[in-house]
Structure 1
Amino acid sequence: MTSPGETRSGARPGSAARVLGLVGLVALAVVVLLISIGVGSRDIGLAQSWSLLWGGDGGDATGTEAAIVRDLRLPRGLLALAVGAALGLSGAVMQGLSRNPLADPGLLGVNAGAATAVVVAIGAFGVGTVTGYVWFALVGAALAMMAVHVLGATGRSSGTPDRLVLAGAAVTAVLIALVNAALVLSPRTFDSFRFWNLGSLSGRGVDVLLAVAPFIAVGAVAAFAMSRALDTLVLGDRAGTALGLDVGRTRVHAGVAATVLAGAATAAVGPIAFLGLAVPHAVRFLVGPAHRWVLPYSAVLGAIVLLVADVVGRVLAPPGEIQVGVTTAVLGVPVFVALCRRRRLVSV
């Protein structure tokens, strides 16, 4: 008999192979981080970047290149890893929670709530820094997710995945309409908001990383602790209840964890398309549907994908750059289409 977290079709790698694969992905993430530190509008080079990173002068008499490496590129790379991990993990949790293979942080109103709060911060309070946006976006994402759960819990069949998805679509539509209206009425707000809305790592320093890191850490711990519960939840409410799972409590806990992860990531860099949607699909193809593997793999692979997208954006348009939200969407669409063509990836 197959357990809730294992697939019934096709051979999957054993536990030892999965552990080795995860270690390999972590090593790859470190390599990509080191490459990203040496790439930018100013060509510093990997060897010199490595020397500057560890306190050497690397031939930099003025200290300018040292400041670029230590104060700009390293925090940016670490933030990309943290945000990518949060989005990949959030997408995996949301897909397990809603039993919907197309779920991502935008489905349940998280992105729309964060965007609405950022518009309020700019238009009503005159906030003009990324660090200021972070706190408003976190609150907005949380309030939007609460509204989705309240709407999804009313009436018959309360709290079912279908009702949550419909509630998320309704809340998103209303909030996006309000955002668009506010932007039309205030050109100044639009000018400030559009840079955040593209999704960008540019200009994010260590202050932004420190602001969102605790939320991402707490959300990640909560998500990993729910791996077995998510395996049971995807079997359906009746089966979950029969197996002793408190379905309502599990759904609330999973929703909170996903909201904290996606809200913190979106607050830091703006909306990032397709990463939370496509990465869990790729992971399930590699390791199967068991969440004890899907969650850590999604976190590490999401971190790698976002950092690679950031590096690609800097390489393609020197001395400027293509915003990481644009690069992720361009890279993610064909990959996701290819993954969706495989029948085994249609279900969670």
Structure 2
Amino acid sequence: MRLKQSLPVAILVMAPVVAVCMILISISFGAKNITPGDVWGAIVHFDPNNVDHQIIRVSRLPRVIGALLIGAFLAVSGALMQGMTRNYLASPSMMGVSDGSVFLVTLAMVFLPSGGSVSLITLSMIGSALGAAIVFGIAWLIPNGMSPVRLAILGTIIGTFLSGVSAAVSSYFQISQGLSFWYNARLHQMDPELIKLSIPFAVVGLALALGLSKSITVLSLGDDVSASLGQRTTVVRILTILSVVILTGVSVALAGKIAFVGLIVPHIARFLTGVDYRWIIPVSGVLGGLFLAFCDILSRFVNQPFETPIGVVTALFGVPFFLYLIKTRGGGKNA
């Protein structure tokens, strides 16, 4: 028991050290390897005429910071969704939330091409809400629609439909090349200014998630237990969905759709910390950021000198894990 209680603290304490190591590795290795001296010089004494310094400041540093942030946002979103629904397969990519964001981003690029970065983030969040509303709305209407496997199948169907419509719209209006960023999740095209603009939204989403962590723990025990303890379950669910919408919308606006992070990481966090979401949520955020940064680094070595799409790398971990959950958990709810 003491180990279970001390492990989350150790993870959170060690996380900054591991994150710094990830940042240094990510900055140093790629199509062009950069020496530690150039990395230090780019950070401390930036020379705009030095090509290596430009690569570090403009490309690689925003890329790894974006990966850490996006991984954290998606993992926290997945933890919230799994706790709220007691569905071990719930995640932004499985429930159509990410696809809703891509869908509205597509419409925005067609009909609002002059929109700025803030409007992009806002529309992406609205799209997340749209995707979630469609999936959960239909699930409530069909028999046993909220069961894990049926909800996952429904989310996949709706997500595929939204992605298909997005692809059709982009092809018809000849903007496919511009939208390939959101379809392929190209972290190497991370926009530093967009990262800065997304921080206030992300802070609100994370603050909501942490503030709701105790209520999510109670909610994960079931509606009857939650009601008997006097919890306002409807309010908790609305605020939880709001947090998921904000965090997922920001993630998609930054780098497009990235699958499986929100599915895998909360299960690992739950295994390491227990059932208390006051620990699961922050540990999920930390592990999610490190996991996506690791996958991004791995994507550069799988098929050198070419980069493997980050979605392919996360799928290498996610698909076996998904099949493992189906085999071991069947159609039951989370405990």
Can you list the C-alpha shifts for 1:312-336, whole angstroms capped at 9, x where unaligned? 1123344442222222112333355
Deviation at 1:16, TM superposition (A): 2.9
Deviation at 1:169, TM superposition (A): 6.1
- The secondary structure found in structure 1 opposite 2:187 is coil
Q: How many angstroms apart in 2 are the aligned matches of 1:44 and 1:128? A: 36
TM-score where L is the length of structure 2: 0.86
Q: Does 1:251 align with 2:241?
A: no
Q: Does 1:205 align with 2:191?
A: yes
Aligned to 2:215: 229
Mapped contact 1:130–1:204 kept (Cα < 8 A): no
Q: How many angstroms apart in 2 are the aligned matches of 1:12 and 1:177? A: 50
- RMSD (Å) for aligned C-alpha atoms: 3.3
Aligned runs of 1:327-338 on 2, under 5 Å?
A: 327-337=313-323
Deviation at 1:148, TM superposition (A): 5.1
Range with bigger deviation, 19-28 or 292-301: 19-28
| From 241, 256, 275, the counterpart of 2:261 | 275
| From 9, 13, 28, the counterpart of 2:3 | 13
Aligned to 1:48: 38
1:287–1:342 CA distance, 2 compared to 1 (3 A): farther
Can you list the C-alpha shifts for 1:90-147, whole angstroms capped at 9, x where unaligned? 0000101111000000344311211111221233344699887544323322333345
Aligned to 1:39: 29
Q: How many angstroms apart in 2 are the aligned matches of 1:47 and 1:23? A: 28
Mapped contact 2:182–2:252 kept (Cα < 8 A): no
Identity of aligned residues (%): 31
Mapped contact 2:41–2:53 kept (Cα < 8 A): no
Aligned to 2:273: 287
Aligned to 1:23: 13
Q: How many angstroms apart in 1 are the aligned matches of 2:135 and 2:242? A: 12
Aligned to 1:95: 82
Deviation at 1:242, TM superposition (A): 0.4
Aligned runs of 1:30-179 on 2, under 5 Å?
A: 30-55=20-45, 62-126=49-113, 133-147=120-134, 161=146, 165=151, 171-172=158-159, 174-179=161-166
Q: How many angstroms apart in 1 are the aligned matches of 2:214 and 2:125? A: 27
TM-score where L is the length of structure 1: 0.83
| From 296, 299, 303, the counterpart of 2:282 | 296
Range with bigger deviation, 87-96 or 171-180: 171-180
- Segments of structure 2 that go 5 or more residues without pairing to the other structure are none
- The secondary structure found in structure 1 opposite 2:34 is coil
Q: How many angstroms apart in 2 are the aligned matches of 1:346 and 1:151? A: 19
Aligned residues: 332
Mapped contact 1:103–1:277 kept (Cα < 8 A): yes
Q: How many angstroms apart in 1 are the aligned matches of 2:292 and 2:311? A: 9
- The secondary structure found in structure 2 opposite 1:314 is coil
Q: How many angstroms apart in 1 are the aligned matches of 2:11 and 2:325? A: 20
Range with bigger deviation, 334-343 or 171-180: 334-343
